[in-house]
Amino acid sequence: MANGVVTDTHRYVNREWSWLQFNHRVLLEALAPENPLLERIKFLAIFESNLDEFYMVRVSGLIEQDAAGVSQRTPDGLTPAEQLEMIAETIIPIRRQAAEIWENDLVPQLEKQGIKFISAEKLTKAQQKNLNLYFETEIFPLLTPLMMEPAQTFPFISNRSLNLAVELHEDGRTKWARVKIPPVLPRLIPVNGDPKKFILLEDLIGANLEHLFPGVEVIGSHIFRVVRDADIEIRELEAADLIDAVEKTLRLRRFGDPVLLEVEESIAPAALELLQKNLELQDSDTFIVPGRLGMDFLWELASLNEPTLKFETHHPFELPQLEESENLFQAIKSKDLLVHHPYDSFDPVQTFISSAATDQRVIGIKQTLYRVGSESPVVESLLEAGEAGKQVAVMVELKARFDESNNLIWSRALERSGVHVTYGTVEMKVHCKLCLIVRKDQDGIQSYAHIGTGNYNPSTAKLYSDIGLFTCDPDICQDITELFNYLTGYSRQVKYRKLLVAPLDLREGIIERIEREIEAKHQTGVGRIAFKLNSLVDIEVIDALYEASRAGVEIDLVVRGICCLRPGVPGMSDNIRLVSIVGRFLEHSRIYYFANGGEPEALIGSADMMRRNLDRRVEVLVPVSDPDQIEYLIEDAIGAPLMDNVKAWLGMPGGGYTKIQQEEGQHPYSSQDELMKKPATKVLPLA
């Protein structure tokens, strides 16, 4: 910003920096006193898992661009090299803070609850005896020491594995070996069977290294881990080769280039130099971490049977009228149904899909699958329907990153059961969440649809906040039928009746509605836009929102993660308020609301406002037509986060966030807690 004028490069927040700010907000939940202790530990585990994926995907891509000499600047004005430098400078203090939270806050709190970590040197003789026996029988057979010198013998270091660099002394020479900590064993080992006292697996191995190197002097060991490039692109051009391409990608991912080395603070300089040299990494690619490495053991810790140290179990609103498919279809026929998970039960969605196998009137089903998990009642229902001889077509997205293997397994099982399975194309991911059921009702053939913002996965439906719409609107059902024809065949549909579909017209549809709101503001003096989404990155949509703000349209944005828009900048975004919620449930729903001159319009669906979603994915937004449901979306699903003073962060013009504090005399208001008190749809008893 120069002389008070916003320049192009200052109109936008850097995408990677914005993501790092989001992950920092996740980390700070590990400090939040209102969170139970084991939930705070879970947030720390999520922080590290997020960071690993960021390096495996985003940082690896920037490294490739920089190595290829790419100098193209992002909308905020940074080259790949400059972004890598910014990331390194930003993440180091955050990573150190994570270590300090564990060592200085969480460990003492655990000890107050009787949950303790015991170092090898503090074990009693009796404890040592029992643990040594466990080491000899359960651990030792799995260990394989490997030479780290000379260079040609340097072992392959698996992605995200935990390792010991072991310093040895023999014949007057220092030698180095690598011992991989077996990932098939739990990291938390109870001491003498005590469910609250543990030694970590790497500590027990480190205390017994002499068993691995008999006759050689063991000087000591140092823990390290490597994160590798996991964003291996599918480069084959023919859709017919897609399965082979995905299988090849899965194999290649294991051997991606190293992008990050993490070492403990006490590492010997010689060990660090050896690792950096052989992994071809620099100081800028290395985290020297105080405290523990490899926080994945925190997932084991968070799963301890300690109910008082966790959130109280949430019991979603049940819709008993919808437990039977006959009642469910009758209810949908009489009125569109809106469900908001996890506040509302996911059971109606499962009933809807399982009806394909159990309801004699159901004759066909069409379904998209993106992330369904390793165990899937939804896919099991589709398998039963296929085996029953019903007409079932499933679009399985094989390229759902890190879920490719599960999706391959399920797709083959579906094909064996007689289901028509398609995989889309290499160029385009199918991210929309659609299910269409064709049923022979008493009054004729009727189509029913479910359109959601989240995956057909009952496990994540308990953890992610998502919206789903059941409808038998003939225009919507016909749109979905024609969209499936595009996904599975050679249809080149160019216009839909009610759906907005990416990459066809979704961006244009959103921008047209923003422009309509500007016109309404000019005509009536009133204009309101409210979006709830995961990420706001697309420059064209951001520029349209800036234009609406300058026209005086009131704009509220609830953006969980990345936001490249700068709110509250004088002359550019004065009328835009940005809020981010990080809480018990992962905010995952996408809602787009427009006041529309007194005739409110709301759309839900799978699309975030990102270039990849709008240009390189098949996404769908569907309008919600019921006035009561539109009111719920704006007053509750979006309105509650805007009133939050417990879990809400306010976006600032500079791109950072500040925690919203309760004002004097104000009661605490947590949007997720409040939404747990109110169902999205109250279904009347069926006649």
Length of the chain: 687
The structure tokens listed for 291 are 């405290």
Nearest Cα to 648, choosing from 587, 579, 590, 589? 579
Could you tell me how many helices (H) and strands (E) the chain has, helices first? 21, 27
What is the C-alpha end-to-end distance of the chain, expressed in Å? Answer: 64
- The CA-based angle 150-155-159, given to 5 degrees, is 145
Phi, psi of 172 (to 5 degrees): 75, 10
Could you please report the per-residue DSSP string of 153-190?
Answer: GPPP--TT-EEEEEEEEETTEEEEEEEEPPTTS-SEEE
DSSP E strands in 251-309: the ranges are: 258-264, 286-289
**How many of the other CB atoms lie within 10 Å of CB of 384?**
16
Which three-class secondary structure state does DSSP give residue 219?
A: strand
Residue with structure tokens 């700010």? 21
In whole angstroms, give the CA distance from residue 303 to residue 126: 28
211 is catalytic: no
Closest CA relative to residue 221, chosen from 142, 173, 167 = 167
Pairing of strands 444-452, 464-471: antiparallel
Q: Residue 400 and residue 220: Cα distance in Å, rounded? A: 42
The Cβ of residue 602 has, within 10 Å, a number of other Cβ atoms equal to 26
Contact, 358 vs 385, CB < 8 A? no
Helix, strand and coil percent figures for the chain, each rounded to 5: 40, 25, 35
Q: Cα dist. 482→369, 472, 499, 681 in Å?
A: 17, 15, 11, 29
Which residues lie closer than 8 Å to 547 by C-beta, 6 or more apart?
514, 515, 518
The pairing of beta strand 337-341 with beta strand 500-502: unpaired
CA distance 416 to 429: 24
d(CA 382, CA 384): 5
Q: Which of 340, 431, 450, 588 is catalytic?
A: 431
Catalytic sites, residue numbers: 431
